[in-house]
């Protein structure tokens, strides 16, 4: 029985899971709202909260740490200059997950994850 697992594997290898999380995080910050499965939404919420906290520093080292994870430079700029300052008064809870529907083809539970403003 696995105990103290820090993350969900999402039925993927390590490299595939990391690439998936990078792409989902980039899409979330680019569009500020995405629809995905509930388990992926929970994992990307953990990642997005940490990235937003890093972006609140706004200095060059923070931008470089964000650029390691977010795949588009324009999205890093948007995160540091628009999203993080709008959330500066909050002490966490930067994302909201709302369950929406069950997908027809495979009966997966879908959720919308969005940035709270």
Sign (positive or negative) of CA dihedral 1, 17, 50, 42: negative
Confidence (pLDDT) at 5: 83
Q: Domains in the chain, ordered, with CATH?
A: 14-115 (3.90.1030.10)
Average pLDDT over residues 86-102: 95
The structure's pTM equals 0.92
Average pLDDT over residues 80-107: 96
Task: Report d(CA 38, CA 1) in Å as an integer.
Answer: 23
Confidence (pLDDT) at 7: 85
pLDDT at 2 over 90: no
Q: What is the pLDDT of residues 15-67, one digit of tens each?
A: 999 999 999 999 999 999 999 999 999 999 999 999 999 999 999 999 999 99
Main-chain phi, psi angles of 78, to 5 degrees: -65, -40
pLDDT at 117 over 90: no
Main-chain phi, psi angles of 23, to 5 degrees: -65, -40
pLDDT at 1 over 90: no
């Amino acid at each position: 029985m696995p105990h103290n697992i820090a993350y969900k594997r999402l039925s993927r290898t390590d490299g595939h899971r990391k690439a998936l999380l990078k792409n989902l995080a980039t899409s979330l910050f680019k569009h500020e709202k995405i629809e995905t499965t509930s388990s992926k939404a929970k994992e990307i919420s953990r990642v997005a909260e940490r990235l937003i906290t890093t972006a609140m520093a706004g200095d060059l080292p923070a931008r470089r740490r964000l650029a390691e994870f977010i795949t588009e430079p324009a999205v890093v700029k948007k995160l540091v200059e628009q999203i993080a300052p709008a959330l500066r008064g909050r002490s966490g809870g930067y994302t909201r997950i709302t369950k929406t529907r069950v997908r027809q083809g495979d009966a997966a539970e879908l959720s919308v994850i969005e940035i709270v403003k």
